[in-house]
Amino acid sequence: MAGRIVAVCTSEKKGMRKTNIGVGMLTPDHGLEGDAHAGNWHRQVSLLALESIGKMKEKGLDVNPGDFAENLTTEGIVLVDLPVGTRLKIGPQAEGEVTQIGKVCHDRCAIYYQAGDCVMPREGIFVKILKGGPVRVDDIIEVTENV
């Protein structure tokens, strides 16, 4: 199973929409360099599918990659169906492991208030970075080991 990277996004502070920077560096046991959520924990990099963003567009929202605070926006891979422990090759050399599916939103985000819903808590996934490397828009993301 494989897809492609549609956006590589960072933000300086947590709780903000992220900006697509087009290219970034994934660092082992840290995450996406320059992003506020990077660090030595299990949610180093967040991923959300473009197909999930499309569901919010269908509700009338003007939303784009990064608006849900995800680091990597993907297309063509059903992220929410990947079990915890699944290994992913991200770009030409980086590797990650799925550590969490969805999340609990303690505070409702602006998207929730606009639409009455948000897909990130249900359809976003989180990975820890096992092997570092560059990642850029149009890179391939693929499952290398499914549990």
Residue 54 three-state SS = helix
Please answer whether residues 62 and 47 qualify as being in contact, where contact means their C-beta atoms are separated by less than 8 angstroms.
no
Q: What is the pLDDT of residue 121?
A: 58
Which H or E run contains 133? strand 133-136
In the CATH hierarchy, which top-level class contains the domain 2-145? Answer: mainly beta
Q: What is the pLDDT of residue 103?
A: 63
Range list of H helices, the chain: 50-58, 110-115, 120-123
Query: How many CB atoms are closer than 10 A to CB 1?
Result: 14
45-49 and 72-75 beta bridge pairing: parallel
Averaged pLDDT, groups of 10, the chain, 147 residues long: 96 86 98 96 95 87 87 95 96 97 60 53 88 98 90
Q: What is the pLDDT of residue 115?
A: 45
Identity of residue 32 = L
For 96-127, what is each residue's pLDDT tens digit? 999 998 765 546 555 454 445 556 657 889 99
Percent of the chain with pLDDT over 70: 86
Indicate the domain borders of the chain: 2-145
87-90 and 140-145 beta bridge pairing: antiparallel
Strand partners, 97: 87, 128
